[in-house]
């Protein structure tokens, strides 16, 4: 299972780091899927923050940063 870390900046100005996982996909595929999920009609992305499941709603997201390093969970 491939995972990437997303730094999510919320409309409120807060930010949080979440892990997004996908089975058998490359990092680029996961990034594309995350962006598609947030721009879709539902606008929902299931992620993890530490050991907790988190559902991220697009209407509260201002920006997403993706980097191989830098985000700390």
For tokens 């923050």, name the residue. Answer: 49
Q: With a cut of 50, list the residues of the chain below it in pLDDT.
A: none
Selected from 3.40.30, 3.40.1360, 1.10.3470, 2.30.30, the CATH number assigned to the domain covering 2-66 reads: 2.30.30
List, in order, residues 6 or more apart from 37 with CB less than 8 Å away: 43, 44, 45
**Structure pTM?**
0.79
List, in order, residues 6 or more apart from 68 with CB less than 8 Å away: none
Query: According to the model, what pLDDT value does residue 23 have?
Result: 79
Residue-range domain boundaries for the chain: 2-66
For tokens 């780091």, name the residue. Answer: 17
Query: According to the model, what pLDDT value does residue 73 have?
Result: 56
List, in order, residues 6 or more apart from 48 with CB less than 8 Å away: 18, 19, 20, 21, 54
Query: According to the model, what pLDDT value does residue 20 have?
Result: 92
- Cα–Cα nearest to 41, from 63, 58, 62, 61: 58
Query: According to the model, what pLDDT value does residue 68 have?
Result: 63
């Amino acid at each position: 299972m491939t995972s990437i870390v997303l730094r999510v900046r919320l409309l409120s100005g807060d930010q949080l780091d979440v892990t997004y996982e996908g089975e058998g996909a490359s990092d680029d595929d996961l990034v594309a899927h995350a962006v598609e999920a947030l721009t879709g009609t539902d606008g929902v992305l299931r992620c993890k923050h530490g050991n907790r499941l988190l559902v991220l709603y697009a209407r509260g997201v201002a920006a997403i940063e993706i980097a191989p390093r830098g985000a700390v969970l």
